[in-house]
Structure 1
Amino acid sequence: MEEQMVFAWVMIFCLAIAPVYGQHYSKTIKLGGRVEKKTRLRFFYHDFPGGKNPTTVLLAQANITQDFFSPSPYSSLYAMDDPLTIGPERTSTTIGNAQGLYIALSRDPNKFTAVLYADFAFTTGRFNGSSFSLFSRYPPTDFVPSPDTICEMAIVGGRGAFKMAKGFALLRATSSNAMTGDASLEVNVTLYHY
């Protein structure tokens, strides 16, 4: 009986500590002399859902969403193909585009929040053919054209010159129109890549 009791306590102890050691695992991998690089980029991103040539379109919406500019676009899915430019004006030199999807996730009709996935691809200049991927929560209603309002978003990958990119993007509105949904944003990106 005493042996069974000892065995039971040993089993309980082993089962109790197994999850503690099983939750964390890491392995260091040397990348054959590759050196991690840091790149900083600054450009402007223009999102125009209105007008004759929109850069963002509604793909799907829930029955509760009335129209594209509904005060409650909860669960609406949008596709985007937005230009990236050197300057804050939409007519500035185009250096690439941001293509992706975002879905409206806030049930609060007064605060639009989305989760955004976008591939920021460069089509000219030093980084022509390269891109980085952004996947993060995006609260555009927090933006007002002000240098004090900045949104931080996560960089989760890249290709070309930005292979295995990670980092962050800081977005600040340079202009926005609540009636049409049009917005231009300054984007400052810090990338760590190989």
Structure 2
Amino acid sequence: MENQMIFAWAIIFCLAVAPVHGQYYSRTVKAGSPNTTQDPPTYGTLYAMDDPLTMESELTSTLIGNSQGLYLDLSRERTQFTAIFYADFAFTTGRFNGSSFSLFSRFSAADASSTIREMAIVGGRGAFRMATGFALLRVTWSNTIGDAIVEFNVTLYHY
């Protein structure tokens, strides 16, 4: 009986510490060819932003801060815009004056199945120190040259 108990505990112990393994691949392909007559793709282009942060979509709405950040175009396909997006949303008035939170996520125009996209909140400062959460984005207006108004519906947890 004692040997059976030892064997049972040994099996339980082995099952409890079973390793988890995953194997992943990332293939790097050089963007563009030196023997092409096409315009160079925007792949690898880094964009900077410094936009007003308001409570309403109108430009005349009260300014409460600004959103500054970077996004990097990752798509080799001209028809599908995909980027890594980083932005810091800083408040310059009101209850959260001097505080900010940061988004960092992948943004893909290929997610056309949904008009609302989700991004991760990865931190903050001031009142939003150690913030986590998410932001739901919805483009409310855009034009053909890339200007847009984006609504950010933010849920964050902070300490």
Q: Which TM-score band applies after superposition, normalised by the shorter structure?
A: 0.7 to 0.9
Distance in 2 (CA, whole Å) between partners of 1:141 and 1:90 is 28
Q: For structure 2, which runs of at least 5 residues remain unmatched after alignment?
A: 1-13, 21-29, 33-38
Distance in 1 (CA, whole Å) between partners of 2:45 and 2:64 is 29
Distance in 1 (CA, whole Å) between partners of 2:62 and 2:107 is 26
Q: Does 1:88 align with 2:54?
A: no
Q: Given the superposition, is the C-alpha separation of residues 91 and 104 from structure 1 closer, same or farther in structure 2, using an over 3 Å criterion? A: same
State the superposition RMSD in angstroms.
2.5
Task: Say which SS state the counterpart of residue 161 (structure 1) adopts.
Answer: helix
Task: Say which SS state the counterpart of residue 20 (structure 1) adopts.
Answer: coil
Task: Give CA-to-partner distance per residue, 1:84-142, whole Å, 9 cap, x none.
Answer: 11111122111111111110001111011100111110111111100001100012465
Q: Which residue of 2 aligns with 1:55?
A: none
> What percentage of residue pairs aligned between the two structures are identical?
67
Q: Which residue of 2 aligns with 1:111?
A: 80
Task: Give CA-to-partner distance per residue, 1:49-96, whole Å, 9 cap, x none.
Answer: xxxxxxxxxxxxx995xxxxx793111011111111111112211111
Q: For structure 1, which runs of at least 5 residues remain unmatched after alignment?
A: 1-13, 22-61, 65-69
**TM-score, length of structure 1 as denominator length:** 0.60
Task: Give CA-to-partner distance per residue, 1:127-184, whole Å, 9 cap, x none.
Answer: 11000011000124657xxxx610100000011111100000001011011x210000
Give the residue type in structure 2 aligned to 1:108. E
Task: Say which SS state the counterpart of residue 86 (structure 2) adopts.
Answer: strand
Distance in 2 (CA, whole Å) between partners of 1:142 and 1:18 is 39
State how many pairs are aligned. 129
The answer on whether the counterparts of 1:71 and 1:110 sit within 8 Å (CA) in structure 2 is: no
Distance in 2 (CA, whole Å) between partners of 1:103 and 1:130 is 25
Q: Which residue of 2 aligns with 1:46?
A: none
Alignment of 1:41-60 (within 5 A): none
From 117, 128, 132, the equivalent of 2:101 is 132
Distance in 1 (CA, whole Å) between partners of 2:67 and 2:92 is 11
The answer on whether the counterparts of 1:82 and 1:97 sit within 8 Å (CA) in structure 2 is: yes
Q: Which residue of 1 aligns with 2:152?
A: 187
**TM-score, length of structure 2 as denominator length:** 0.72
Task: Give CA-to-partner distance per residue, 1:17-69, whole Å, 9 cap, x none.
Answer: 98828xxxxxxxxxxxxxxxxxxxxxxxxxxxxxxxxxxxxxxxx995xxxxx
Q: Which moved more, 1:109-118 or 1:71-80?
A: 71-80
Distance in 1 (CA, whole Å) between partners of 2:139 and 2:49 is 18
Distance in 1 (CA, whole Å) between partners of 2:139 and 2:40 is 21
Distance in 2 (CA, whole Å) between partners of 1:140 and 1:122 is 28
